[in-house]
């Protein structure tokens, strides 16, 4: 089940909510009971991946080493 991160606009608390994707945009009151919250945009799966998005090594324009 996906985890969504929310922030309370009243107290600034940040917290996670586990819920199905169909309920991703449902309201999520903060743990202190405040209703004015916003869902944060997170980049899941990208943290800690060194070189993510870098072209493959090997030389040449396509990275395969055939066009040096």
Q: What is the pLDDT of residues 3-43, one digit of tens each?
A: 999 999 999 999 999 999 999 999 999 999 999 999 998 77
pLDDT of residue 56: 56
Q: Please give the pLDDT value at position 67.
A: 62
For residue 54, pLDDT beyond 60: no
Please report the pLDDT score of residue 43 as a whole number. Answer: 76
pTM for the full predicted model: 0.60
- CB of 27 within 8 A of CB of 35? yes
Among residues 33, 34, 53, which one has the least CA distance to residue 43? 53
């Amino acid at each position: 089940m996906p985890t969504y991160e929310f922030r309370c606009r009243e107290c600034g608390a940040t917290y996670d909510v586990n819920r199905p994707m169909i309920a991703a945009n449902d309201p999520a009151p903060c743990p202190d009971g405040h209703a004015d919250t916003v869902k944060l945009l997170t980049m899941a799966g990208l943290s800690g991946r060194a070189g993510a998005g870098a072209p493959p090594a090997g030389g040449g324009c396509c990275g395969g080493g055939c066009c040096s």
